[in-house]
Amino acid sequence: MLEGDEGETRFLCRKKFPSRWHSWWLAWTNLFLFPIRNWPFGFATAPAYAVTASALITPDIQVSSAADLLPQVVQRLSWEPFSLFWVVAVATGVVFFTDTSKLWYRWTAGLIHAFSHIAAAVLLGGAIVTMLRAWLVEFGPEWLAWQPPLAALATAVAGYIVGPLVLALYLTLPLNVFRYHRDDASSALRSPHYKNFLRLCIAPTGDLTIYPVGIRRVASKFGPSTGSTPSRLKPLNGTRPFLIEDPIVIPTQQGACCSQAARQA
Q: Are residues 124 and 158 in the same domain?
A: yes
Q: Which of 154, 188, 222 is the last residue of a domain?
A: 188
Q: Is residue 200 part of a domain?
A: yes
* pLDDT confidence of residue 73: 86
CA distance 90 to 111: 10
Structure confidence at residue 255 (pLDDT): 47
Residue 2 lies in a domain: no
Per-residue three-class SS string for 82-103: HHHHHHHHHHHHHHHHCCCCCH
Residues 151 and 241 in one domain: no
Same domain flag for 51 and 171: yes
Q: What is the mean pLDDT of each run of 10 residues along the chain (265 residues)?
A: 58 83 86 89 94 85 73 85 93 84 83 93 88 76 77 93 93 83 83 90 90 91 74 80 90 60 54
Q: Can you give the pLDDT at residue 175?
A: 83
Residue at 5 is within a domain? no
Is residue 67 domain-shared with residue 148, that is, in the same domain?
A: yes
113: closest CA among 184, 24, 58, 56? Answer: 184
- On whether both 51 and 161 belong to a single domain, the answer is yes
Question: Is residue 183, in this structure, part of any structural domain at all?
Answer: yes
**CA–CA separation, 64 and 245 (whole Å):** 62
**33/58 same-domain check:** yes
Query: Under a CB-based contact definition with an 8 Å cutoff, are residues 181 and 173 in contact?
Result: no
Cβ(179)–Cβ(101) below 8 Å: no
Are both 104 and 215 inside the same structural domain? no
Q: Interior CA angle at 112 toward 110 and 115, to 5°? A: 105
pLDDT of residue 114: 93
**74 and 139 assigned to the same domain:** yes
Asked whether residue 132 is domain-assigned, the answer is: yes
Judge if pTM exceeds 0.85. Answer: no
- Host H or E run for residue 115: helix 103-137
Asked if 87 and 204 sit in the same domain, the reply is: no
* Integer CA distances (angstroms), 170 to 74, 124, 207, in order: 26, 19, 47
Q: Are residues 168 and 203 located together in one domain of the fold?
A: no
Range of the domain at 252: 193-264
Verify that 71 and 144 share a domain, yes or no: yes
- The CA distance from 252 to 257, in Å, is 9
Same domain, yes or no: 232 and 112? no
- Rounded CA-CA distance 218/239 in Å is 7
Nearest to 122 by CA among 40, 61, 31, 164: 61
